[in-house]
Structures are given as structure tokens and as C-alpha cells.
Amino acid sequence: MNYAEAEKTLKGCGQEHVLAFWKKLSKDERSSLLAQIAKIEPRSLKLCRDALAKGAAAPDSSAGKAPKVATLKGKKLAEAVAAGEKEIAAGRVAALLVAGGQGSRLGYDGPKGCYPIGPATDAPLFYFHARKILARGNRYGATIPFYVMTSEANNAATVKCFEDNGYFGLDPKNVFFFTQGMWPGMTKDGRIILDAPGHIFMSPDGHGGLLAALKRSGALADMKKRGVKSVFFFQVDNPLVEIADPAFIGYHVLEKSEYSLKLCAKRDPFEKVGIPMLFGDRCRMVEYTEMTDAQCTRKGRDGRLYFLYGSPAIHVFDRAFLEREASKDMPLHLAFKKIPTVDAKGRVEKPVEPNGYKFEKFIFDILPNAKRTAFLAFDQKDEFSPVKNADGTDSPATCKADMQAKWTKWLAEAGVTVKKGVTIEIDPAYALDAADIKRIGLCLGAD
């Protein structure tokens, strides 16, 4: 793109001010600004402006009902596990990780997936995910292709982390990195924000950017070529997640679901998690900020919370459903933030109050479009302990403690007692669950 083309594009959408400092820019600044402008689609700007005009008002959730959530036991559990194992063994399952976030609460300098979480080895979050995928595939003699969404800001460092660690044992040809989109920040009146005279402020388009990125990158086509049908979705910050858990995959398949969610009981009525609610025959994720106190504390007939189950963002998608959704526009969510900007003379200003909007898409906004959904309960302690904050709740300290508690439980089931204060860590490729430990324990005993 040259200057004339950039000017034409910007004029067409009322954003000519982006070139206001052109004459003052160096050669490099000019070419990087032109590269940024070339990536902006006028259609996306229109979507941003429409979102600004609509405002941040949340839809009314007062008519929402709690969906039926399965807790699988006995025969039903065995059936689901068998169906899931068949799906994995047939090579119809993929793992899909969203790792493009900025991790601002954790304040770690690098992709969050590189954060050292191994209690004994400082192994990164990516290690635990990749080793589980490796072990799960090996167990069923199948390949589980691994799709990793990054952002422009962390893609190179993410790929390097995999390369430096020999892909954690995975075959690189089964790991597919792709990058999510970026949206420009805007003022209240829809003007693109420059955070330097020759630079547009851009931010990642949210985990919902996944759909467009899957399509654009060829990841969806790759899944199809490989014969993938069920796509296990998870977030980078939860090393407890049971990736491609056969019971969940199997339940999804048996229910012929397009979008299945693993749900866990809220730790307290006001826990900050999304709550899936039914509106007629469709389901929608209601954010905790949209719920009234009365909804949060409402009791069901069994005396427990009526909206008991929250979503820790562990999903299984039908691949064909993702394909259908990938061509549609998703709603944009607004975040009013302090965004660096430039004054009329091109001097950079750091605002003390929020001054502009970031735009994000959320993956769960496609939930109402699913013709069939399925909900499966799990025990939070076993599978969900995210690293969100530097300290306090949902921090590395709580996560490491939860990892150790889980492994201690597995070892106890195999008759091994872990002394208090001893640090333990289990490589998922060595043991994926308590049953593996028991098997290994028996082998050791036989020696």
C-alpha cells in the first residue's frame, strides 16, 4: 500500500487524521504505518463504530433458566468414555488452545504459556498442555493435532518456546500455530487512536477472534483434511485441564452436540464466571456482571444455588459448527481503557482516566447459534485452577498447590503417601491419571 491508497482508504471511512503527522515521520515509521493501515478492513471499522453507537448495555437475562447439567456415573459414564475413546482412536479429535491473551493481571514478561508453573521443575504452562496431548494420543495409538492461537505480540516467543523445548515431545507437523486479529482502539466518537505519531493503537480481538483466525490461517481446512470432527477447546492458564478427556468427548458425541461445555459448581454465589442460561431452546452465556444479586443467590428446590454451574471455558466444538460460524460476524464487546494517545502536536500523552475503547469478541457468543448443546459437570478441584493474578486467588501459588493436591490424590490411590512439605511433580507423559500411576506402581512392584 502506498500513501495515495492509504489516504483513499482512510478518507472512505472518515479516518484521515491517522496520516496527520505523515510529514514528520521517518522512512521506517511511514512504512510501518502503511502496513498497519493495509491490515485495517473498512468493514471492521464499521463494526466497531456500530458497537460504539449501540453502547455496552447488556441484554436482559431475567428470563434465563438453568440448563440441565449431566453428572455422569456408572453405566452412563462408561458409555461416554467408550464413545470418547473411539473418537480419539479414530483420529477425529483435535486440541485447540487460545493463548493470544496479554496476561496483564499476571504481569509476566512473555507469553503466559511460557510462565514457569511446574512446582519442582519450573516447566512452563505449555509443557503440561503439550505433554497431555502427547500422552492422550499415545494411549489410543492416535494423533491429536494441536492448534495454538497466538497474537501478533506473542507469536514469535511462543513458537520459540516450543522450538527450544523440542515441541515437548510432540511432532512439529502436528502442531499448528496461528495468529488472532487485532482491532484499532477508538475514541467515544469512533476516531482511531494513534499512540504515537506514526502508530495506530491496536489490541488483540479477544478469544472470539479464534473463529476468523481459524478460517484465515487454514487451520479449519487442516482439521477437515485430517478428518477431525470434535475440537477440544481450552485456555492457556489452567494446567489442570484434562485435555481431550474421553468422557467429555464421548458425551459430546453421544449427545450429537455442536457446542458442549464442562461446568463446575461456583465456589461462591458471586464468583466471577460466566453462567450458561437457557432462553427458550437456545442457550446464552450470561456474564457475572450482567447478573442481579437475586439471580446470583437464588436457591433451587434442592436448596443449592439455582444458577450453580459456571463455565471455566472448557469446551468441545463440532468442527462443522465452527466452519459454519467462522464466516459470520460476532458481536463486539467494549472495554473502556486508558490508552496512550498523541496531542495535536504529536506529543505522546498517557491518560490518567480511561479515554478510549478496545474491542473484543468472546467465543461463547456463538453458543446461541448451536442447534444442540450439552453440559457436563466436573469437580473444580480436579480440573480447574487458573493462573490469572500475580498473588492471592487464582495465582501461581494457588495453582501449584492445586496441582500438587491432585497428584497427591493420584499417588494415594496407588497406595503411595506423600509426606507433608515434599514437592512433587508428575510429567503428564509419564502418568495421565491415577490409573497410570497404579499401572506403573504395579510394574515397579513386579521388578
Q: At what angle do helices 246-254 and 74-89 cross, to 10 degrees?
A: 90
Which region among 41-49, 126-134, 135-143, 199-207 touches ligand UTP (by CB under 6 A)?
199-207
What gap in Å lies between CA 406 and CA 429, rounded to an integer?
16
Nearer to ligand UTP, 279 or 288 (CB): 288
**Cβ neighbours around 361 below 10 Å, total:** 24
- At its nearest, how many Å lie between ligand UTP and the CB of residue 386? 7
Q: Up-side HSE of residue 219: CA atoms within 13 Å toward CB? A: 29
| Site residues (CB under 6 A) for ligand UTP, limited to 172-191 | 180
Size of interface with ligand UTP, in residues (CB under 6 A): 19
Site track for ligand UTP across 126-155, x = CB under 6 A:
-----------------------x------
Q: What are the backbone dihedrals phi and psi of residue 327, each rounded to the nearest 5 degrees, phi first? A: -95, 0
Calpha distance 447→442 (Å, rounded):
9
For the CB of residue 151, give the shortest distance to ligand UTP in the complex, in Å.
Answer: 6
Query: Hey, which residues between 233 and 252 contact ligand UTP (CB under 6 A)?
Result: 235-237
For 34, 41, 42, 115, 187, the CA distances from 38, given in Å and listed in that order, are 6, 8, 10, 34, 21
Residue 358 binding ligand UTP, by CB under 6 A: no
Q: Which is nearer to ligand UTP, 207 or 229 (CB)?
A: 207
Q: Which of 190, 204, 239, 312 binds ligand UTP (CB under 6 A)?
A: 204
User: Residues 95-124 vs ligand UTP: string with x where CB under 6 A?
Assistant: ---xxxxxxxxx-----x------------
**Nearest residue to ligand UTP, by Cβ distance, number only:** 101
Nearest approach in angstroms of CB 331 to ligand UTP is: 15
Q: Which is nearer to ligand UTP, 275 or 437 (CB)?
A: 275
CA atoms of 377 and 311, how far apart (whole Å): 10
Q: What is the DSSP letter of 312?
A: E
For the CB of residue 147, give the shortest distance to ligand UTP in the complex, in Å.
12
Q: How far is the CB of 208 from ligand UTP (least distance, A)?
A: 8
Q: x/- string (CB under 6 A) for ligand UTP, residues 2-41?
A: ----------------------------------------
Pull the grid cell for residue 156. Answer: 514469535
Label residue 398 exposed, middle or buried (CB < 10 Å: 0-12, 13-18, 19+): middle
* Shortest Cβ 214–ligand UTP spacing (Å): 12
CB of 248 to ligand UTP, least distance (A): 18
Which lies closer to ligand UTP via its Cβ, residue 149 or residue 305? 149
Main-chain phi, psi angles of 374, to 5 degrees: -145, 145
- Least separation in angstroms between CB 206 and ligand UTP: 4
Residue 99 vs 399, nearer CB to ligand UTP: 99
The minimum distance between CB 80 and ligand UTP, in angstroms, equals 26
* Span from 82-90, 183-191, 200-208, 390-398 in contact with ligand UTP (CB under 6 A): 200-208
Residue of 145, 184, 198, 206 interacting with ligand UTP (CB under 6 A): 206
Smallest distance from the beta carbon of 254 to ligand UTP, in angstroms? Answer: 28
Binds ligand UTP (CB under 6 A): choice among 131, 136, 358, 388: 388
By DSSP bridging, strand 259-265 and strand 373-377 are parallel
Stretch that binds ligand UTP, among 166-174, 219-227, 231-239, 320-328 (CB under 6 A): 231-239
**Whole-angstrom Cα distance, residue 11 to residue 27?**
22
Residues 180-213 as b/e (b if ≥16 CB within 10 A, e otherwise) read bbbbbbbeeebbbbbbbbbbbbbbbbbbbbbbbb
Nearer to ligand UTP, 58 or 416 (CB): 58
Other Cβ atoms less than 10 A from the Cβ of 1: the count is: 15
CA distance 230 to 446: 39
- Give the gyration radius of the chain's Cα atoms: 23
Q: Name the pairing type of β-strands 333-337 and 259-265.
A: unpaired
Contact indicator for 267, 296 with CB cutoff of 8 Å = no
Q: Which residues pair with 182 in a beta bridge?
A: 204
Sign of CA dihedral 152, 17, 9, 33: negative
CB of 117 to ligand UTP, least distance (A): 13
Cβ atoms within 10 Å, residue 8: 10
Interface positions with ligand UTP (CB under 6 A): 98-106, 112, 149, 180, 204, 206-207, 235-237, 388
